[in-house]
Amino acid sequence: MRTASRILFALLLVVPGALYAEDDDQIVVKDEDCNFEIKSPPDSIDWQAPKLSDERKAFVKAYFITEFTDSEPLAGAYVELQVIPLPKRDARMGLDKIAHRWRTALEANFTNPRERKEGPGTFGGQPSFDVDVQGDRDAGTHRLTYTVGRNGKFLYLFYVTRAYDAVDDEQLEEEIQAIRDSFKYLKIEKVVGDSKAKPTEGPAVGPAAADAEKEKEIDPEKLKKERFGEAGDFWRFSCVKPEGLVVQELSDNDRKLGVKHYFRNDRNYARLLIRIWAQTDKSKKFTLEQLVDQKISEFKKYDKVKQAQDPVIDKRFKFPMAKKAIKLELLGRATVKIHRIWVLLDCTNDRQYQLEIYLSGSQGYETWKKEVEEFIKEFKPRKK
C-alpha cells in the first residue's frame, strides 16, 4: 500500500519563479524562469509534492515522492528536478563528462555500486546523458537513476532514488517514466554559458551529496557515549549509545512501527545500524517465535541475499528480566556481506523488546564488535 494522503482539491500556488497546479489526479510544476514544466503521473493519488525548505528551493525546482506505508524498512521513490546555472566551461563540455564529474557527489551514499547502465539519451526532446545504478545504503538495496540535460543557460538534473521494495516495482517504474516523459522545456534555446556561474564537482547541494557532507562533518560531541532511559519512563528500559555512533532522527514510519531509538555510523567501509523496538504486552502483535520467522523472511526479501548461511537461533538465550529471550543471527551475501542480529525479549515488566543490529561490509562485525557487545550488555529492562 502506498501513501495516498494528499488532500484532493484544486489548488493554484505561486512560489518564486514557479507555478504549481494540483487537482484530483495530477500535480503540475511550471517554471517560466527556469524554462520547464513537469507533472506527476496522471490519475494517481499516490504521489505528493512536499514543501521544500528555502535552502533546497534554491536548486530543487520540483520534488515528488511516493512511499509504501506498510513496508519495513520504508520503501518509496523520490524524484527531484534540479536546475543549475550553466558555467561557460560546461557549455562546451560533453554531457557524459559532466555526469562523470558529478558521480562522486550523486552516488556519495552508495556502497558497492553495481548493475550500472549509462549512455546518451533524450530529455525534454533534447540530448541528455543517463545513468542507472544500484547500490547498498542503510539497511538494504537502493536504485538511483539520473539524467543530465542542457538548454539555454541551465543544466538540468533529473534525479530519482528508489528504496527497498520500490527497487523492483514495475508499476512504480511506469509512473516514474511518466514523470520523466512529462518534462518539457517551455522554449528550446541556444546553449549559452553564464560567465558568473562557477563550475562544480557536483550539484551545489544534491540529495546524496548533502547527506555525505553531514557524514564528514559529524560533531565529535555527537559521537560520545550516551545513556537513555529515566526511571518512570513508560517503556521501562535504559540503554547506551556506544561511542562512535550517532543518534538518528526517527521517521513517522519508525514511530508507527514501535521504534524508540535509532543509532548508526560507518567506519572503514563497514556500517552499523542499531534500532530498539518496544511494545506493551497488550499492543504487541507477534510472539517471539513469529518474530523469528518474520525476521528470516525479511532477511531474504529486503536484504536480497543470494548466499545465506542457515539462521542461528538461540532459544535458551538468557537476559535480565526476560520471561523468554531468543537471539537470532542471520548472515549472508548480496554483493556485500550482511550480518543481522536480533535479540527478542518478552519481559516480566509487561513489555516486549526487539534489539535490531545490522552490520554490512566484509569486516562489519569485526569493525564494530566492541560497540555491539557493549550495546547488548548495557540494555536494561526495568520494573518501572
Q: In this predicted structure, what is the pLDDT of residue 209?
A: 39
Q: Which of 381, 341, 352 is nearest to 288 (CA)?
A: 352
Listed by start position, the domains of the chain span 11-216, 220-381
Contact 267, 244 (CB under 8 A): yes
Q: Which CATH class is domain 11-216?
A: alpha beta
| Residue 170 φ/ψ region, left for φ over 0, alpha for ψ in the -120 to 50 degree band, beta for the rest | alpha
Q: Is the pTM of this model over 0.75?
A: no
Q: In this predicted structure, what is the pLDDT of residue 74?
A: 75
Q: How far is CA 197 from the centre of its chain?
A: 31
Grid coordinates in use for 238? Answer: 535504559
| Cα–Cα distances in angstroms (integers) from residue 13 to residues 19, 28, 57, in the given order | 6, 10, 15
What residues in the chain have per-residue pLDDT under 70?
Answer: 1-25, 45, 55, 69-72, 139, 199-217, 269, 303-304, 334-336
Q: Which of 256, 214, 342 is nearest to 72 (CA)?
A: 256
Q: Which residues fall within 8 angstroms of residue 51, CB to CB, at 6 or more apart?
A: none
Half-sphere exposure of 188 (CA within 13 A, CB side): 5
Q: In this predicted structure, what is the pLDDT of residue 2?
A: 61
* Number of other residues whose CB lies within 10 A of the CB of residue 283: 10
Full 3-state SS string of the chain: CECCCCCCCCEEEEECCEEEEECCCCEEEEECCCCEEEECCCCCCCCECCCCCHHHHCCEEEEEEEEECCCCCCEEEEEEEEEEECEHHHHHCCHHHHHHHHHHHHCCCCEEEEEEEEEEEEECCEEEEEEEEEEEECCEEEEEEEEEEEECCEEEEEEEEEEHHHHHCHHHHHHHHHHHHHCECCCCCCCCCECCCCCCCCCCCCHHHHHHHHHHCCCHHHHCCEEECCCCCCCCEEEEECCCCEECCCCHHHHHHCEEEEEEEEECCEEEEEEEEEEECCCCCCCHHHHHHHHHHHHHHHCCCCEECCCEEECCCCCCCEEEEEEEEEEEECCCEEEEEEEEEEECCCEEEEEEEEEECCCHHHHHHHHHHHHHHHCEECCC
Phi then psi for 81, rounded to 5 degrees? -115, 120
Q: Write down the CATH number for the domain with range 220-381.
A: 3.40.1000.10
Q: In this predicted structure, what is the pLDDT of residue 234?
A: 95
Contact 108, 20 (CB under 8 A): no
Distance between first and last Cα of the chain: 38
Asked, colleague to colleague, whether 11-216 and 220-381 share their fold, the answer is yes
Grid coordinates in use for 174? Answer: 511506469
